[in-house]
Amino acid sequence: MTRTPSTRSRIHGCLLGLATAEAVALRHRGAARDGADDGVLRLGADGQLALYTADALVQVLEWANEGVYADQAATLWLAGLRWAAVQGVELPSSAPPAPPRWIDTEPSVARPLPVRPAWLASLASGEMGTAARPLGPEFDDAAAAARTAPLGLVPGTPSSAVLTMAVDGASLTHGHPDAVQASIALAQAVHAALAGSPLGGAVDAARGAIAGLRSPEQDIVDALTGNSSEKLRPEAGQAALSLAEGVRAALSAGQEGDAGVFEKSVVRASEAGPDAAAITGALLGTAWGHEAVPAEWSARLEGAHVVARLAAMLADAAGAFD
């Protein structure tokens, strides 16, 4: 890698890398096609909700910059409710009204998914999952991890605060310990990479964060070693499996930082599914910056302008002007 990306480029790279990687994996599986093959890469659940997460983070930071306290967990929940509403979910009367945001009217982010993920039921309940009482204990996939990656994109945030935000974000839909701890791991790795740590060091930081928990899930710790998911226990859940393959593909990319290597790594992760691909894209995009994301993919991504706008807003709100 011949250049050091700016913090703004890393923020943009995380969001763009995550969104394009998942979209490529979905297209590879045929899950994102609605009829004709028009060449467009469309956002999936991970990409759409990751952008809603980033927008919620922008809200919190903008209020903080004005000296106004904002409940981070509640803001993330309201963002999730707005996303559920644009997906056509009829929310119960017990759900609080969520003031609209500009992102709600963006077709690429508001486009109904061909297949709704099962964990959408947690948001549809109208109840707010919390760390003490998370919703969806049966959901052990890595979708929560993928969408919470943006929570690591605020420079200078203490690791303990990143951990808290990741738990809050994941608990809104996923109550399985593997899913929650995979979310902590990815947010921590993104946060370390944002600060300039090489990918290996960023993943080590994430593994240390998980190992330091009161009740670490060994499958998640093992998923952060860079080994194949085949090395995990046969009983390992999907969150650990996707995390292992996503991390493995990112670490195997080396330090080149070019689009060709990015593409090969994402395609490799795609074999394990869209969540794994999104994890790889988020890690490489943060470490290498947005210019490492293949230009051909970015040009085909529906909503690339939304990604760029959100990245700029998040960087501005976080004080990342370099």
Binding site members for Mg(2+): 275
Q: Of 225, 67, 240, 258, which Cα lies nearest the Cα of 266?
A: 258
Residue 76 contacts residue 123 (beta carbons within 8 Å): no
The tokens of 220 are what? 């998640």
Q: List beta partners, residue 41.
A: 301
Residues 6+ apart with CB under 8 A from 183: 144, 145, 148, 166, 167, 169, 170, 174
Residue type, 220: I
CA distance 247 to 143: 15
Q: Are 224 and 245 in contact (CB under 8 A)?
A: no
Annotated binding site: 275
In contact, 253 and 284? CB cutoff 8 Å: yes
